[in-house]
Structure 1
């Protein structure tokens, strides 16, 4: 078997399309983790934006929802179908960026029509004529627009059953390979000493409404009434229309919350190691598997997630799951307290998974 694998590696060449460092992309971090392991099995050549497509036996395309990071990869996929690693099921922002963002309104209408027929085209016209709000900002989960990518995929690699099921529901009939998201090997970490709290609660990644930051802030404000020494660390760039500072002022949290912008990989590990509890909420979900969740579990930290999508597939004994309903804020407040009190047990279960 070992000889056969070596022979396959000698024969097969893979063109690898992905954002790469120094791109501020979670998928760039993912590729930095995956590539060394992949190269042990096949010959890999990394495609570069703006350069000629490399000659290869198969092309592997990593697709996420950011048009700046993935637009050029979709362009390459349209020219040469291949295997797609679908990191997120909802791709509305991506498709809008490579159609409307490039002055190609007709391309956006075609994508909407493929999704919903004539009704989709009419909705798209409403967006183009400024009669409707931008759907990729207000209701992306209702109109995923992933069909543009699925139509060109010769096979799909997914990191959750949720994404695979959504692809089948959308009519995809090709091969689907469910493969667990890789876990980072534990680096040598010097725990950050410039952040502290009793307890210190951390939330990492791009901050927007989908990350349930308003609900987290409300729950933390209530939690802090009984634990005045608690602090919340929010680390990550914020969406353009998401004013974190104003929300902190309204809730009286300016002294209880520390805001950091984008942090590089090494710094992120150090900050996460300093936290007593980590929170990664999501709704609506775009079908993503969170790298921050994988890191938190690798560190053996108690973790709180939303009970939706791929997050629901995590073991019940390894994470605390908060339902997204009218009780979300009080349940989240209780989860913060439980995680702070039982961190050792929860963290050990997370690391074991």
Structure 2
């Protein structure tokens, strides 16, 4: 099978790292795979994830040629427009299979719309109104940043905006499958995210050494680092720990977290900012407990949580989204709104019970390394690709009739459209084809 894979490959893109593993497994199964990089700004000499497969930039390819030279086009979809801008050049040219790494795509949409509308909100507002039928007042609040992130995720995720333009869709957790199925006319499936484990030493007994709590990844306010600081400060056992944060952070967020620590009376906070892969392995090795918290949950799956589990450390998560699907007996869940009291109780339990940390760490390591594999992922992906290819003719016929009905001025609630839809559904049912 000829597969063209649209994806970012920048070293700073976790999605790019995942894409390399998927492509390698596809290639090992005899498929021909090539990459098209989707970063908005072309930087031919910039560092990228290593691969021996062909790599081009979306700026340099013709969508029609890609469509004609591919049996399937895969799109890695994420909420960072700087990484994923190039998918807009191909998504309407052929029935692509969209891989939805994030269930929340509003930020991508907003940047796309403003770039095409010279910084104006006309296109932004029109698309929001078309998809959600929202009032002008709600749209004005959205454009004016008056909605919280949680409210935007609930009301305007914009997942439907891209899913409706795909010939099939792949989710990385069950919680947003229904959203994709409602918008995408093609097949939809769920696959556990593929992730390559780093070589981190197993957790061992550390008598006499302060317990180390770790958070990794891009640091922002919805990552709940402030809640961890407050939770640790609530008890003597928590105040005796070190809390280390490793990942990109703005000066403003650093100052804010440092002030939270001072106000809470928590002295042992280490904010490391960006770290190399080697230092990340050192931090994972040092850690006794890893907090992978989000409020709200916006991603389809959490690479940092998977990495924490693969490192064999007990992991604390919010009971929401992707994290809610993780086994209750292998991770430690706090309510979705991450209350400090519940988080403090969970941390204290783990801090005081080293045998529990060692037992759960070993179990979650083995489970995650057998679950989040490229082999499992590609099994699901290839089956979905086959379904997408098989349903293309029906999609083409449906699109043709849709255009014809629209040209007659008929709308979706017209009885005639309903009768035609039911007839087509009967014709294309498995019993008839």
* Length-normalised TM-score, structure 1: 0.85
Mind listing any 5+ residue stretches in structure 2 that lack a counterpart?
Answer: 38-56, 368-433
**1: CA distance between counterparts of 2:225 and 2:149?**
16
> Which structure has the larger Rg over C-alpha atoms?
2
Residue pair 2:213, 2:242 contacting (<8 A) in 1 also = yes
| Aligned residue number for residue 391 of structure 2 | none
**2: CA distance between counterparts of 1:68 and 1:136?**
22
Residue pair 1:317, 1:349 contacting (<8 A) in 2 also = no
| Aligned residue number for residue 229 of structure 2 | 217
1:263 aligns to 2:275 (yes or no): yes
| Aligned residue number for residue 89 of structure 1 | 103
Residue pair 1:319, 1:350 contacting (<8 A) in 2 also = yes
Count of residue correspondences: 329
Change (3 A) 1:259 1:186: closer
1:303 aligns to 2:315 (yes or no): yes
After TM superposition, the structure 1 stretch with the greater mean CA deviation from structure 2, 25-34 or 202-211, is 25-34
| Aligned residue number for residue 237 of structure 2 | 226
**2: CA distance between counterparts of 1:263 and 1:115?**
40
Change (3 A) 1:189 1:52: farther
1:198 aligns to 2:201 (yes or no): no
Mind listing any 5+ residue stretches in structure 1 that lack a counterpart?
Answer: 1-11
| Aligned residue number for residue 44 of structure 1 | 33
1:177 aligns to 2:192 (yes or no): no
Matches within 5 A, 1:234-313: 234-238=245-249, 242=253, 243-253=256-266, 255-313=267-325
| Aligned residue number for residue 348 of structure 1 | 362
| Aligned residue number for residue 168 of structure 2 | 155
Residue pair 1:66, 1:93 contacting (<8 A) in 2 also = yes
**1: CA distance between counterparts of 2:148 and 2:348?**
35
Structure 1 position 257, deviation (Å): 0.8
Structure 1 position 105, deviation (Å): 2.3
Alpha-carbon displacement from aligned partner over 1:272-321 (angstroms, at most 9, x marks no partner): 12100001011211142101111111111111000001101100111000
Alpha-carbon displacement from aligned partner over 1:205-231 (angstroms, at most 9, x marks no partner): 1112221222222112224x3344310
Secondary structure, counterpart of 2:60 in structure 1: coil
| Aligned residue number for residue 27 of structure 1 | 15
1:17 aligns to 2:6 (yes or no): yes
* Length-normalised TM-score, structure 2: 0.70
Secondary structure, counterpart of 2:345 in structure 1: helix
Alpha-carbon displacement from aligned partner over 1:181-238 (angstroms, at most 9, x marks no partner): 12324437699xxxx9610000011112221222222112224x33443100111123
**2: CA distance between counterparts of 1:58 and 1:270?**
40
Structure 1 position 38, deviation (Å): 2.1
**2: CA distance between counterparts of 1:104 and 1:38?**
42
Secondary structure, counterpart of 2:61 in structure 1: coil
**1: CA distance between counterparts of 2:318 and 2:215?**
13
**2: CA distance between counterparts of 1:166 and 1:151?**
11
After TM superposition, the structure 1 stretch with the greater mean CA deviation from structure 2, 197-206 or 106-115, is 106-115
Structure 1 position 177, deviation (Å): 1.6
Change (3 A) 1:227 1:138: closer
Structure 1 position 81, deviation (Å): 3.6
After TM superposition, the structure 1 stretch with the greater mean CA deviation from structure 2, 84-93 or 205-214, is 205-214
Change (3 A) 1:240 1:174: farther
**2: CA distance between counterparts of 1:235 and 1:126?**
34
Change (3 A) 1:214 1:308: same
